[in-house]
Each structure stands twice: as C-alpha cells, then as structure tokens.
Structure 1
Amino acid sequence: MIPTTIEELDQIKKECTKLVNKRASASGLVAVIPVPGLDVGADVGIMMELTSKINKKFGLSSDQIDELDTETKRILMMIISSLGAELAGKLITKELVVQLLKKVGVKVATKASVKFVPIIGQAAAAGISFGAMKLLGRSHVEECYKICKKYIEDQQQEQVSEFETVSSK
C-alpha cells in the first residue's frame, strides 16, 4: 500500500536505507571470496531481492500497482514515467538488474581484477562491491521516495481543491 503521509513515507525511507546498508555489507563480504563470478552472481541476486523489497515497502511493486483502481494506477504510472524511474512499478528481473550493474560496470570490472591480489585486492574488491550496491540501493530508495512524495502531495492538493470548491458554494 502506498504511504498516505510524509511521516509514514519518511519511516519507510529510513527502514529501506537500513536494508540497503545490510545488503551492501553482504555484497562486500561475498566480494572477499576469491572465486571468479561468485560476487557478480551474488550481487545480481542481492540486488533483485533488495529492489523488490524496497518497491513493496513503498507500495510500488508491479503486483501492488496492478491491484490499484484505474485512476490511482494511471496517476502513479504518470509520476513514475515523468521522474524517469527505472525500477519502481516494474517486475524486477535478472536482466533489469544486470543492466543496472552494467551502469557501474567499471567498478565491477575493477573489482574482478583486483580481488586476486592477496589481502589488499580483496579489501578493495569488498569496498567496491559495498559502494556499488549502496549507490544503486540508495538511488532506488530515493526514486521510490520521490514518487510517493509526489503522489501524496498531489492527493493533498486535490483534497484542498475539493474543499475550496465545496466551501465556496
């Protein structure tokens, strides 16, 4: 369900930010293990799960949006498209997540090459993985926050307009 107040929205943002930090830490830990491809596969899985959870917490998963009435769905989809949201309201697929990870591709490539340098390389790989996951996760939280905030503000504005119309009669 979409949050109805800014206070509720702020609380969801705080919860999601904690979730991002936890998943970014997990990504960093996996990056330390010197097994080729393990960290990239783990990052894809972590990001799929993370973005799905964030969408659900904000009420913006594709399933949740599908259950809304036609007008609410239309308004939300307009907000999502006007803000250029990449993950909100969409079914999170492996392909979608891989596209996101490619956006931070230089970091991923660097992580893959440095992780085989003993100790320092593994620490660098963990830091890169943590940073990339945190960046992607936090930007998705911000994206969802902006969508919901715009929706709440639009609903409040509509209520004010209706009240003014009624009271002027």
Structure 2
Amino acid sequence: MAATLQLAEHNPELAARVRYCRRLLNRRALVAAAASAVPVPGLDWAVDAALLSKLVPEINRQFGLSPEQLDQLPHHKREQAQKAIGAIGSMLVGKFITRDLVLRFAGKVGMRMSAKQAARYVPLAGQLVSALVGYSAIRYLGEEHIRDCIAVVQSAHLALPAPALKAS
C-alpha cells in the first residue's frame, strides 16, 4: 500500500494537507497511547472514541469533505464526490461522525484492541505493549482515513478549501 504522502506527491497543496493531518494524527495517537497504558477498564476505549470523533471530522474539513463543505459544492461536483466516496467504500468521508460510526470504524482493529486490553494488566511490560498497540491502532485508522480522503479528492477532481487561519 502506498504511503499517504506518496499518494499526494504530485500536488504540493494536497501534500501539505497530508503533512498537517499526519501531525494531528500523531498527537492524537500519543494521547491514545498514554490512555492505553493506564490500567482502568474502558478508559482507553472512551479516549479512543473521543479522539477519533474529533480527529475524523477535522481531517474531512482539511480535504473539503465535511458534510457542510460537500453541501456547498455545485451539483455535478457533489455527485462526483458521492460516487468517489461510494467507490472507495469509506464509512467516514463526508459523513456526520457519530459514536456508533466511530465504534464501527474502530472495529477494523478489534483484535489489536483486545490484545491491548489483555496486555495492560501485566506489570510495566504489559502497559508498554498496551500503549504501543493503542498508538498503532489510532495511527492505522487515521492513515486509512487520510488515504480515503486523498482518493476521493483525486477521483472527483475536487479543489481543496482555503487553509484555515491559525490563531496566535
């Protein structure tokens, strides 16, 4: 599978969005790793769901694929985008993100999450393994979502939205 940055290498603006989203993803995955290391049942799942429910819409916005942004597209572009979303089979591109949707999305890495739960109760080494699995799971899900967004933008020939101004 091609890395997300390689998919966007011929478009500097798209590559910049990918780098930005990967930085967001890395920060969120570090938080997930920290939560995974804490031996409190269910804490990691709650943190992962909360992280993904904020991360996925932000990635969608960066690529112009939030529901609001898609609604503002001309009719023919919106149709192209919907066809591209259907073709890649994404659950999260262009959708309102709900708790149920995040849990179904996280189900893609369910076995890793089960191993994370079991490993957490082994002193020190188990917590490290649990943190690593938590980090990897969020990274995997985020990279997959970024890859889906790139595919939709490229397939539907969508223009990226203007970058948001950063508050100082």
TM over 0.5: yes
Rounded to whole Å, the distance in 2 between the matches of 1:92 and 1:112 is 25
AA at the equivalent of 1:6: N
Question: Does the Cα contact within 8 Å between 1:9 and 1:148 map onto a contact in 2?
Answer: no
SS of equivalent residue, structure 2 residue 77? helix
Rounded to whole Å, the distance in 2 between the matches of 1:100 and 1:84 is 12
Of all paired residues, the percent bearing the same amino acid is 31
Rounded to whole Å, the distance in 1 between the matches of 2:144 and 2:48 is 16
Instruction: Map 1:1-169 to 2 at 5 A.
Output: 6-152=11-157
What TM-score, normalized by structure 1, do the two folds share? 0.84
AA at the equivalent of 2:11: I
Deviation string, structure 1 residues 96-145 (Cα, Å, up to 9, x no partner)? 11011112111111111110111011001000000000000001001101
What TM-score, normalized by structure 2, do the two folds share? 0.85
Rounded to whole Å, the distance in 2 between the matches of 1:84 and 1:38 is 30
Greater share of helix: 1
Rounded to whole Å, the distance in 2 between the matches of 1:104 and 1:79 is 24
Number of paired residues? 150
Rounded to whole Å, the distance in 1 between the matches of 2:15 and 2:125 is 38
SS of equivalent residue, structure 1 residue 19? helix
Question: Does the Cα contact within 8 Å between 2:77 and 2:156 map onto a contact in 1?
Answer: no
Structure 2, unaligned stretches of length 5 or more? 1-9, 160-168
AA at the equivalent of 1:52: P
Question: Does the Cα contact within 8 Å between 1:6 and 1:149 map onto a contact in 2?
Answer: no
The Cα of 1:84 is off from its aligned counterpart by 1.5
The Cα of 1:6 is off from its aligned counterpart by 2.3
Deviation string, structure 1 residues 135-165 (Cα, Å, up to 9, x no partner)? 0000100110111122238x9xxxxxxxxxx
Structure 1 residue ranges, 4+ long, deviating more than 4 angstroms after superposition? none
Structure 1, unaligned stretches of length 5 or more? 156-169
Which of 132-141 and 8-17 deviates more? 8-17
Question: Does the Cα contact within 8 Å between 1:9 and 1:149 map onto a contact in 2?
Answer: no
SS of equivalent residue, structure 1 residue 104? helix
